Amino acid sequence: MINVTKTELPPLEKYIEYLQTIWSSSWITNDGPLVQLLEQRLQEHLGVEHLIAVANGTMALHCALKVLRLKGEVITTPFTFAATTNAILWENLVPVFADIDSETFNLDPDDVERNITDKTSAILAVHIYGNPCYTEQLQEIADTHHLRLIYDAAQAFGVEYKNRPVLNNGEISTLSFHATKVYHTAEGGAIVSDDDQIVEELKLMRDHGIKSEQEVTIPGTNAKMNELQAAMGLCNLESIEKHVERKKKIYEHYKKRLNSTEVRFQKIVASKYNYSYMPLCCENSEKKERLLLELLKIGIKPRQYFYPLTVNYAYFNHNRDHVADRNNLKNAIDVSRQVLCLPSYPSLDMKIIDTIIDLANSVLEDT
């Protein structure tokens, strides 16, 4: 089966070199030297002031929401991975869903503003497929209405908007280093902020709030990255530029050869992009379903990222008091029904990509 993504692993001998240092010290967790080294190198690579490595991207979201002491409602997108919405619910906050822009697939700033009430405390925006949100408009809205602004940048590793690291927007940005991401530490994630006070509290929060052996200052959690994850991350950082360049070639090849009039692509607004995914939208959702089935028949498994919308998850059926009316989510509904992410990873053979393209063109142009 050719999946939508494939975990790219570093040379085994390189990973073993790092493992030998772990074995020699027996320091495997609790802010070890490799975690510290990885944080330093990622800060330099990504152009950010502070980066805190954590166990996974979901914990990054939890800590980001917790550290700002939010209450009430958080405006977010329904067109995202489950973790974005679930993190809001786990922190006993109310997700309020705004519509997306039909071209970028990110939150529509105008609809965000329409959904603000006296209960709104924050905006949690997502850079979908790594494509930057319209950050200036969202910041202006947050400032005008005195709201906290957080970015779920799970897929936006190394991305820039107007020649500035996209991670340097909002009060906090979170990253996922899951094995399916363009850059990974097997599992893992990170939190980025330029606020020194927030950073210090997050460092305490990820380790149970422990300040010293005798002092626990806040009710924290266990969100620490371990040394095995950091070793994987240090290895993969050496090859990230090569992998992104390969994914760029794959992305451009898809766009050049997918010539059906039924297809449209996400509008990319990044000045530097990482080509995390290869989403296409089929104007005819029935043809999209047929394409999905035909690809599965030949052992190729694309994914419908993100269908269904998180607002349509079963657990919302029990309490819809604070969920935005689905009729106000037209763009999100349309895109979720039309979108299909095709396989894209550095080691994917171009012959397989051409097979996918030929089948897609045939199915979508079939009357």
Render pLDDT for 142-182 as a digit per residue (tens, 0 to 9): 999 999 999 999 999 999 999 999 999 999 999 999 999 99
Task: Answer yes or no: is pLDDT of 317 > 90.
Answer: no
Q: What percent of the chain has pLDDT over 90?
A: 94
Q: Kindly state whether residues 190 and 322 are assigned to the same domain.
A: no
Cα 115 from Cα 14, distance rounded (Å): 50
Angle, vertex CA 156, rays to CA 195 and CA 162, nearest 5: 75
The pLDDT of 324-332, averaged and rounded, is 74
Cα separation, 51 vs 47, in Å, equals: 10
* Domain final residue pick, 201, 218, 237: 237
Contacts of 65 (CB under 8 A, 6+ apart): 74, 87, 88, 91, 93, 122, 124, 150
Q: What is the pLDDT of residues 73-94, one digit of tens each?
A: 999 999 999 999 999 999 999 9
Q: For helices 285-297 and 330-338, give the axis angle rounded to 10 degrees.
A: 30
| Residue written as token pair 């209405």 | 145
Mean pLDDT of the chain: 95
Residue 49 has pLDDT above 50, yes or no: yes
Query: CA 150, CA 201: separation in Å to the nearest integer?
Result: 16
Q: Does one domain contain both 14 and 151?
A: yes
Given a cut of 90, whether residue 327 has pLDDT beyond it is: no
Residue 86: what pLDDT?
97
On whether both 229 and 246 belong to a single domain, the answer is: no
pLDDT band (50, 70, 90) for residue 207 = very high
* Residue 8, pLDDT above cutoff 60: yes
d(CA 60, CA 180): 17
Q: What are phi and psi of 148, to 5 degrees?
A: -80, 145
What mean pLDDT comes out for the span 258-284? 95
Domain count for the chain: 2
1 has pLDDT over 50: yes
Exposed e or buried b per residue across 246-267, where buried means at least 16 C-beta atoms within 10 angstroms of its C-beta: bbeebbebbeeebebebbbebe
* 165 shares a domain with 66: yes
Q: Residues 219, 318: one domain?
A: no
**CATH number of the domain encompassing residue 151:** 3.40.640.10
Given 237, 260, 279, the domain boundary residue is: 237
Bridge partner list, 191: 52, 174
Structure tokens at 241: 């530029």
23 and 130 both lie in a single domain? yes
> Are residues 25 and 75 both part of a single domain?
yes
For the residues 307-315, what does the mean pLDDT come to? Answer: 93
Residues 303 and 213 in one domain: no
Does residue 326 surpass a pLDDT of 60? no
Domain that holds residue 44: 2-98+105-237
- The C-alpha atoms of residue 209 and residue 215 are separated, in whole angstroms, by 9
